[in-house]
Chains A and B, each alone.
Chain A
Amino acid sequence: MARTKSKRRTQIEQLLLAPLNWLEERSGLVGAVKYFLFRKVPHDTNWFHTLGSATLTAFIVQLVTGVILAMYYKPSPNEAYASIQMITNDLTLGWLVRGMHRWGASVFIILLFLHMGRVFLFGAYKYPRELNWLIGVLLLVLAMLEGFTGYLLPWDQTAYWATVVGINLNATAPFLGPFLADFLRGGQDIGTETLARFYSMHMLLIPGGLIALITLHLYLVIRLGVTSPPWSKDGAGVEREEVVVGRRGLVEPRPRGDGAGVEVRGRPEA
């Protein structure tokens, strides 16, 4: 019946698409987003491949809830504890946002480790993705630092003494340890400056680093593509023809260059 679009439908479509076309013509952003969302991935990706974006989602939840919490939290030694009590008990839905931030922190770390385990077990850290593994390790370190700095903010006895112990752990590192501890505390003991210092690191410095590294991480994911699972016939490190056995009985890697001096058998032209 309606093989061709009705005139009215075309008009509506154009109306809806006009802003997008306007944006695309001037920035190419629509194309970039399409390129990001609809890029090619191996045919046998599975649910384990969603752990990375799950981690990203957890991080975004932390960002959003953290920004909201920052509207009510007071990072001064005399007010911090009371402001947390106020957020939890008095503010409408404050308990929910604080709970999301608090439990979301654990979810974020757990997902990070699961994602790391997936990458390790799938061999997805191998050439050419080593750099992305290294960036991931830095992300893990920064995420742990987020946990460490965030733990002090409720400013109760648990927070205080856990941070005392945590900072003193850093102080025992050889050579620079004592300096690192003094830098973290803003002095020789946890004092008036420490809380604001940790707050600034927790909400500005480390998240900035995380966002920058996540951007780099995603850029490399898009540039290098996604790995197949190890059981796939296209999996990382899976030889697709006869393997070359070296003199030590170990599997030699593929010959490089022109393979001079190495007999290459049945090497297909991909």
Chain B
Amino acid sequence: MADELERPEETSETHGHDDPGAHLPPPTIWPFAFAGAVALILVGLIVSMWAAVVGVILAVVFGFLWIRDVSRDVRAAPEPEPVVAPEPSPLTVEEGEPAEPERFPRSKFLEGATLGLGAVIGGIVTVPALGFAVAPAFVGQEEPDVDLGAMDNYPENEWRIATFTSDPEKGDVTRRTAFIRYNGLKNEVPSYTIIFNRCVHLGCPTQPQGPPGEPEEVKTSAAPVTLTPTQPSGFGCPCHGGAYDIEGNRTAGPPVRALDRFEYSVINGSLWLGELYSVAEVEGEGADAVAVRYRHTDPGVHVDGAEAWLYPITP
């Protein structure tokens, strides 16, 4: 049998089973129960949270029983005999035995030094390279503010679909679309609702639910902006059927929060687009709308509620 192990190219499957070294776990029925519990979790996630909780408890219990069954052999295995007499290391010299002169294991030192130095050199090379691959994605990602043209282009209580390049130097790849409504003055300060068109399910472009008018090009201090008038009843996403009301609150479909919004400022009579931020839900309408502002995060990521605990830190 030992020969068979030495020549594995000739061992057939059944030989493998005969090998004394083959470790097969003892039979157990619990994987089936565990699979049932997992199925219950998945069904519960859709149907009822309580069923999912029961499923989790069952899965833990059955998983434990499974592991207990499978590991019975290992646990029952006798403790390996502690090595009573370790080989005398070359460093230790028995008292009263002057025969063997003390010997420094030079080959061991050289071995360790070679491996250690290799690891250090590898680290010196790898760490900056990995950093270069990863860090630029997270550092210096601020996008410049965008000039969206004079305030006159945005009549009160009318929607405009604004298409612009957020960074004209980078070109068409930074083309973005936002839905903009001027809400009039509130406390003598102009108020805008500026909604980012990207669906907060998985990032497809949402469409205004209403006929678009004639697009017109508006000159700004940077690249021109295209404004298309529209009077939508809400916004809808063509990819997976997410639907939003006029304030961007989810009304149907898979999105997990309300549509993202842009900060804005008015400088010398021009509307400037600022930072993007996320909201969970918007209360009120137009100039009176109130919402908690969260840092902008990826579509599909919860910003409030228990699910937000799944995303403790976001870039």
Question: Residues on A close to B: CB < 8 A?
Answer: 39-40, 42, 77-78, 126-128, 161, 164-165, 167-169, 171-172, 174-175, 177-179, 181-183, 185-193, 222-225, 227-228, 234-238, 240, 246, 248, 250-254, 256-258, 267, 270
Contacts of A224 in B (CB 8 A): 8, 11
Complex contact A174–B310 (CB within 8 A): yes
Question: Residues on B close to A: CB < 8 A?
Answer: 1, 4, 8-18, 20, 22-24, 26-27, 29, 134, 136-138, 141, 143, 170-174, 202-205, 239, 296-301, 310-312, 314-315
Complex contact B9–A39 (CB within 8 A): yes
Contacts of A235 in B (CB 8 A): 13
Complex contact A181–B202 (CB within 8 A): no
Report the Cα distance A118→B13, complex, angstroms.
Answer: 16
- Overall SS of chain A's interface: loop
Complex contact A178–B315 (CB within 8 A): yes
A–B Cβ pairs within 8 angstroms, 18 of them: A77-B172, A127-B22, A164-B203, A167-B203, A172-B300, A177-B301, A178-B301, A179-B138, A191-B173, A192-B170, A193-B137, A222-B9, A223-B9, A224-B11, A225-B10, A238-B13, A251-B27, A258-B20
Report the Cα distance A168→B138, complex, angstroms.
Answer: 16
**Residue of B13, B22, B170 contacting most chain A CB atoms (<10 Å):** B13
Report the Cα distance A175→B302, complex, angstroms.
Answer: 12
Known contacts: A175-B310, A191-B173. The answer to whether A227 contacts B9 by CB under 8 A is no
Choose one: B10, B170, B202, B315; the contact of A168 (CB below 8 Å): B202
Nearest chain A residue, comparing its CB with the CB of B256: A172
Complex contact B171–A77 (CB within 8 A): yes
Report the Cα distance A177→B143, complex, angstroms.
Answer: 22
Complex contact B202–A165 (CB within 8 A): yes
Contacts of A189 in B (CB 8 A): 174
Contacts of A165 in B (CB 8 A): 202-204, 239
Report the Cα distance A223→B14, complex, angstroms.
Answer: 16
Known contacts: A127-B17, A168-B298, A235-B13. The answer to whether A183 contacts B137 by CB under 8 A is yes
Known contacts: A168-B299, A182-B138, A236-B13. The answer to whether A270 contacts B203 by CB under 8 A is no
Complex contact B170–A191 (CB within 8 A): yes
Known contacts: A165-B202, A168-B300. The answer to whether A225 contacts B17 by CB under 8 A is no
Report the Cα distance A186→B134, complex, angstroms.
Answer: 8
Complex contact B17–A186 (CB within 8 A): no
Nearest chain A residue, comparing its CB with the CB of B23: A256
For the complex of A and B, list the 4 residue pairs with the smallest distance between their C-beta atoms, beginning with the closest: A171-B298, A172-B300, A174-B310, A253-B24
Complex contact A240–B14 (CB within 8 A): yes
> Taking the nearest CB of chain A, how far is it from the CB of B61, in angstroms?
19
> Taking the nearest CB of chain B, how far is it from the CB of A2, in angstroms?
38
Complex contact A178–B22 (CB within 8 A): no
Choose one: A177, A181, A237; the contact of B13 (CB below 8 Å): A237
Contacts of A225 in B (CB 8 A): 8-12
Report the Cα distance A120→B161, complex, angstroms.
Answer: 54
* Sample of 9 further A-B pairs with CB below 8 A, known A178-B297, A188-B296: A128-B22, A165-B239, A190-B173, A192-B171, A238-B14, A250-B29, A254-B24, A256-B24, A270-B18
Complex contact A40–B203 (CB within 8 A): no
Contacts of A171 in B (CB 8 A): 298-301
Complex contact A187–B12 (CB within 8 A): no
Complex contact A254–B311 (CB within 8 A): no
Nearest chain B residue, comparing its CB with the CB of A238: B14
Complex contact A191–B174 (CB within 8 A): yes
> Taking the nearest CB of chain A, how far is it from the CB of B159, in angstroms?
23
Choose one: B13, B134, B137, B300; the contact of A126 (CB below 8 Å): B13
**Residue of B9, B29, B143 contacting most chain A CB atoms (<10 Å):** B9
Complex contact B298–A250 (CB within 8 A): no
Known contacts: A251-B27, A253-B24. The answer to whether A228 contacts B13 by CB under 8 A is yes
Report the Cα distance A30→B311, complex, angstroms.
Answer: 56
Report the Cα distance A18→B58, complex, angstroms.
Answer: 70
